[in-house]
C-alpha cells in the first residue's frame, strides 16, 4: 500500500505523454491538411503560445485552400 | 472576541472567497472561450460548420470532435480542387532508387448535368476570318545617291582675327566672337 503513491507518481509523465500525443496528433493532421507543416502542432504544448498558434491558424490563409483552380 | 467582530471577520473572509471564485471563474471562462473562437474559425475554414467548435467545451467530446475534424471530410479542400487526401508527399531529392510516386486518388465522377451546347453556339455570321498577313513588297529601287561634291571654295571664309573656318556670309566668328568684315 505504501508503494502505491510513488508508483502513480512514476506513471504521471507517461500518462502526460500519452495524453499529449493523443491531443497533438489531430492538430498535426489538421495543420498538414491545411498546407502547413504538421510540426507546428508541437507549439500547442506551450501554455500561452498554443492560443496564439490556434488563432493564427484560424485566421491565416491556408496554402491548401489556395488550390490549383485558383481563387479562394 | 466580541460576537460582532467574529461576524465581521467571517463576512470579510466570505467576501474575499467570493471575489476569488469570481476571478477564477472569469479566467476559466476566458480560457475556455478563446479556444472555441479559434476552433470555430478553423472548423469553418475546413468547410464544416463553425458551431461544431462549441462541442470542444465538453471534456471527452472535444477529443472525438478533434479526430473527426482532423480525419473527416473538408468540403473547402474539395472546392479548392485538392484531392481528398491532401497533397501527396513530394518526391525525395536526390531521387531514391526504390521510390514510387504516390498517385492522386481518382478524381470524382463528372456531374450528370449535360448542357445542350447547341444553344450556346455563337452565330457563324459574326465570325470573321482573320485578315491574311500583308505581303511584303521589295523596297523600290532608289536612284543611286549623287556623288558627293566638294563645296565650292567660295562657300567658306576665314576669321580675320583667329583664322577659324566659317560659313560664307557670317557676320561674327563662331570661334572667337570677333566681328567679321
Residue B98 lies in a domain: no
Q: Which domain holds residue B46?
A: 3-79
Confidence of residue B171 (pLDDT cuts 50, 70, 90): confident
Residue B132 lies in a domain: no
Domain count across chain B: 1
Dihedral sign for Cα B44, B49, B51, B52, please: negative
Residue B46 lies in a domain: yes
Q: How far is A17 from chain B (nearest CA, A)?
A: 16
Torsion of CA B144, B150, B156, B161, to 10 degrees: 120
Predicted ipTM? 0.84
Domain spans in chain A, listed from the N-terminal domain onward = 35-59
Is this prediction's pTM over 0.80? no
State pLDDT tens for residues B7-17: 777 788 888 88
Count of A-B CB contacts under 8 Å: 71
Mean pLDDT of chain B: 78
Angstrom CA distances, B116 to B112, B113, B121, B126, stand at 13, 10, 10, 21
Residue B149 lies in a domain: no
Confidence of residue A71 (pLDDT cuts 50, 70, 90): very low
**pLDDT at position A72:** 41
Closest of B22, B57, B23 to residue B37, by C-alpha: B57
Mean pLDDT across A8-33: 92
B82 CB near a chain A CB, below 8 Å?
Answer: yes
Give the whole-number percent of chain B exceeding pLDDT 70: 71
Could you tell me if A8 and A36 are in contact, meaning their C-beta atoms sit under 8 angstroms apart?
no
Point out the least confidently predicted range of A16-25, A59-68, B90-99, B123-132. Answer: B123-132
Residue B21 lies in a domain: yes
State pLDDT tens for residues B139-161: 777 777 777 766 555 567 788 78
Residues 7-66 of A with CB under 8 A from B: 22-23, 25-27, 29-30, 32-35, 51, 54-55, 57-59, 62, 64-66
Amino acid at each position: 500500500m505504501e508503494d502505491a503513491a510513488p508508483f502513480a507518481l512514476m506513471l504521471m509523465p507517461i500518462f502526460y505523454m500519452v495524453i499529449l500525443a493523443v491531443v497533438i496528433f489531430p492538430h498535426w493532421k489538421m495543420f498538414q491538411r491545411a498546407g502547413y507543416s504538421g510540426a507546428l502542432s508541437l507549439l500547442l504544448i506551450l501554455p500561452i503560445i498554443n492560443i496564439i498558434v490556434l488563432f493564427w491558424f484560424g485566421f491565416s490563409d491556408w496554402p491548401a485552400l489556395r488550390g490549383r483552380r485558383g481563387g479562394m | 472576541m466580541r460576537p460582532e467582530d467574529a461576524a465581521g471577520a467571517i463576512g470579510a473572509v466570505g467576501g474575499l472567497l467570493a471575489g476569488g471564485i469570481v476571478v477564477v471563474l472569469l479566467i476559466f471562462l476566458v480560457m475556455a472561450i478563446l479556444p472555441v473562437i479559434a476552433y470555430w474559425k478553423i472548423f469553418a475554414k475546413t468547410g464544416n460548420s463553425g458551431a461544431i467548435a462549441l462541442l470542444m467545451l465538453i471534456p471527452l467530446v472535444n477529443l472525438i470532435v478533434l479526430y473527426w475534424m482532423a480525419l473527416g471530410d473538408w468540403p473547402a479542400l474539395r472546392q479548392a480542387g485538392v484531392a481528398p487526401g491532401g497533397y501527396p508527399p513530394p518526391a525525395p531529392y536526390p531521387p531514391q532508387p526504390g521510390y514510387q510516386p504516390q498517385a492522386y486518388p481518382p478524381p470524382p465522377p463528372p456531374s450528370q448535368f449535360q448542357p445542350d451546347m447547341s444553344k450556346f453556339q455563337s452565330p457563324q455570321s459574326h465570325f470573321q476570318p482573320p485578315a491574311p498577313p500583308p505581303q511584303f513588297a521589295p523596297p523600290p529601287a532608289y536612284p543611286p545617291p549623287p556623288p558627293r561634291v566638294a563645296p565650292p571654295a567660295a562657300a567658306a571664309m576665314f576669321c580675320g582675327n583667329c583664322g577659324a573656318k566659317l560659313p560664307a556670309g557670317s557676320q561674327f566668328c563662331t570661334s572667337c566672337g570677333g566681328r567679321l568684315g
